[in-house]
Amino acid sequence: MMQFSDDKPIWRQIYELIAMRILSDEWPEGSRIVSVRELAQEVGVNPNTVMRSYERLDGDGIIFNRRGIGFFVAEGAKEHIREIERRKFLDEELPKLSERLNLLGLTIEVKSMK
């Protein structure tokens, strides 16, 4: 059973759940993913909320909709997710982390493996 935290909207948490499944190859690139209704049932969340997560993932180019068939994982989705996550880390998480490191008198070096 999925546990939801209360620091992020539920649609965002489902967005991240799907992204994790793609990154871990549970849902490989090019494959069809479960329907909105199936995922709603699995996580016990309103299907309209789950639809919102699918729409955002579609808008971000991570999945795409084949009318009447369902949603598929886009080619290059994994690298795309990593890029989004990297940007989020650098813009949002790193500033907080470095503030804390400063406070504690620590330094750290961040390198891209690309």
Minimum CB distance to another protein smaller for 7 or for 109: 7
Minimum CB distance to another protein smaller for 24 or for 46: 46
Q: Is 1 in the site for another protein (CB under 8 A)?
A: yes
**Cα separation, 92 vs 3, whole angstroms:** 23
Minimum CB distance to another protein smaller for 29 or for 51: 51
CB neighbours of residue 35 within 10 Å = 14
Residues that bind another protein (CB under 8 A): 1, 4, 6-10, 12, 37-38, 40-49, 52
